Amino acid sequence: MAIPTLRQLQFLTALGDTGSFSRAAEACHVTQPTLSAGIKELEDLLGVRLADREARGARLTHAGELAVARASALLADAHALVQVVQSAGAMLTGPFHLGAIPTIAPFVLPQTVRALSEVYPDLKLYLHEDKTTRLIDQLRTRTLDAALIGLPWDAPGIETVPLFDDEFLFASSTSHPLAKKNGLSPEDLNGEDILLLEDGHCLREHALSICRLKTGDHAGQVAATSLGTLVNMVAGGLGVSLLPRLAMDHGLAVSHDVAVREFTTPVIGRQVGIAWKTGSPREADARKIGEVVKAALT
Fold observed for domain 92-298: D-Maltodextrin-Binding Protein; domain 2 (3.40.190)
Q: What are the extents of the domains in the chain?
A: 6-86, 92-298
Fold observed for domain 6-86: Arc Repressor Mutant, subunit A (1.10.10)
| Type of residue found at 137 | D
Which of 62-66, 199-203, 270-274 is the least confident region? 199-203
pLDDT at 222 over 80: no
Q: Can you state the angle between helices 132-140 and 6-18, rounded to 10 degrees?
A: 140
Per residue in 278-297, pLDDT (tens digit) is 988 899 999 999 999 998 88
**Averaged over 165-184, what is the pLDDT?**
91
Q: What pLDDT is stored for residue 88 in this prediction?
A: 52
Per residue in 113-157, pLDDT (tens digit) is 998 998 889 899 999 999 899 999 999 988 999 999 998 888 899
**In angstroms, rounded to a whole number, what is the distance separating the alpha carbons of residues 98 and 183?**
40
| Type of residue found at 253 | A
pTM: 0.70
pLDDT band at 220 (very low <50, low <70, confident <90, very high): very low
Per residue in 243-278, pLDDT (tens digit) is 999 999 988 888 899 999 999 999 888 899 999 999
Could you tell me what percentage of the chain is helix, strand and coil, using 3-state DSSP and rounding each to the nearest 5? 45, 20, 30
**In angstroms, rounded to a whole number, what is the distance separating the alpha carbons of residues 75 and 281?**
12
CA distances to 22, 86, 103, 180, 285 from 186, in Å: 39, 50, 21, 15, 38
